[in-house]
Amino acid sequence: MVTFTLNGKQVSVEEGTTILEAAKANGVDIPNLCYDKNLSIYGGCRLCVVEVEGAKTLLAACTTEVREGMVVQTESERVVSARKDIIDLLLASHPEDCLTCEKNGECKLQDYAYRYGIKKSSYKGERIEYAIDSLNPVMERDPNKCILCGKCVRVCAEVQVTNAIDFAGRGFKTRVSTPFEAPIDYKNCRLCGQCISVCPTGALTNKQFKGTRPWEITAKVTTTCPLCGVGCNFDLNLKGDKIVGVTPNPDAVVNGTSLCVKGRYHTDFIYNPDRITTPLIKKDGKFVETTWETALNTVIEKLKETKEKYGPDAIGGLSSARCTNEENYVFQKMMRAAIGTHNVDHCART
């Protein structure tokens, strides 16, 4: 353990702990934009700078490890001044459309600008206007709102291991881009949305949430994804009594904040007009609605008829990853014990 002084209070943490992690563990909030506990340390935004006694310059809390006897100030006059300058510089090339931005109310840059009283940038100069990438069906990318924190690049490379995006250009013209400036789509990206989850600004947007303000979300219900057998958890976001989309739950035991493209965007089928909501039975070559009792009795009669006429091996059963393990167990038990065949397969086997 290492003991040091944090804002006048002595605290002890494990050796190797960064100042940022130590402060967080002791209830002290240090602003940060590029830090994520699940990603490699980047130290790019510099918003987490703190004053360490004896150091000539302010140090980034996310990259500096605590040392025995260290004295740290997280909100000194010098620190606050530096953070104001950093926010001022970030806003110098950032759109001022907070009132209509999809991230209004849950943007970390907006929160910190409010916290330190920065209403607008004092720097006047050139601004680059990039085209908004909105060609794919699930996400929108606005490079003009990107603050180059690098979280999207790192989560794509380190967690999703896709490397669909990276930094391009130099200096003022640095941007996050795809190879050859190609739009984001299924050809160069898995469209998993991991980058959306970690983006601190409105640079990346889940299209399912467009038009829904953060404060309009009336409830978040944690549930298990029904689309495969992994068992990922996420939060269903409700606007009134309607599900508007999915956000990851950092406390999920199986997947943490990771979600695949199906898990993140699948809720659109719930209100799809083509969704089958009642049993259908074919009469005169056409499907017509019927009751569950009639549908199940028809299945039983057809299975009995086929078994008696052609034998049990003329019947095959295909199960689904959308069912629970218990339901799949019961299904294969029915096929083997009741019908008498081992012709059972599963859609997720391959």
- Domains defined for the chain, CATH in brackets: 2-75 (3.10.20.740), 224-275 (2.20.25.90), 280-346 (no CATH)
Contact call for residues 31 and 112 (beta carbons, < 8 A): yes
Tell me which residue of 152, 149, 146 sits closest to 165, measured CA to CA.
Answer: 152
With H, G, I as helix, E, B as strand and everything else as coil, classify residue 311: coil
Tokens of 325: 């393990």
Distance CA 139, CA 206 (A): 5
Question: Stretch 7-21: mean pLDDT, rounded?
Answer: 95
Closest-CA residue to 214 (of 91, 108, 329, 339): 108
Mean pLDDT of 15-41: 95
Distance between CA 226 and CA 123 in Å, rounded?
50
Is a pLDDT exceeding 70 seen at residue 350? no
Sign of the CA dihedral with 192 first, then 223, 201, and 22 last: negative
pLDDT tens-place string over residues 111-127: 999 999 999 999 988 88
Question: 271-330 pLDDT, tens per residue?
Answer: 999 999 999 999 999 999 999 999 999 999 999 999 999 999 999 999 987 787 888 899
Radius of gyration of the chain (CA): 27
Tell which residue, 239, 236, 240, has the closest CA to residue 248. 236
Residues 6+ apart with CB under 8 A from 219: 237, 238
How large is the average pLDDT for residues 66-94? 96
pLDDT at 293: 96
What percentage of the chain carries pLDDT values higher than 90? 88
Helix axis angle, 77-92 to 108-115, nearest 10°:
130
Question: What mean pLDDT do residues 13-40 have?
Answer: 95
State pLDDT tens for residues 186-229: 889 999 999 999 999 999 999 999 999 999 999 999 999 988 77
pLDDT for the residue numbered 157: 96
Which H/E stretch holds residue 22?
helix 19-25
| pLDDT score for 322 | 75
Please list, in sequence order, all residues whose beta carbon lies within 8 angstroms of the beta carbon of residue 324, skipping any fewer than 6 positions away. Answer: none
Long-range pairs for 163-172 at CB < 8 Å and ≥24 separation?
A: 164/188, 164/189, 164/190, 165/189, 165/195, 172/93, 172/126, 172/128
221 has which bridge partners? Answer: 236
**CA nearest neighbour of 281 among 267, 293, 273:** 293
The span from the CA of 25 to the CA of 104, in Å, is: 28
Both structure tokens of 272: 């799809």
Mean pLDDT of the chain: 93
177-181 own/partner pairs: CB under 8 Å, 24+ apart: 177/143
d(CA 230, CA 255): 9
Per-residue pLDDT at 153: 97
Alpha carbon distance 243, 248 (integer Å): 14
Is the pLDDT at 147 greater than 60? The verdict is yes
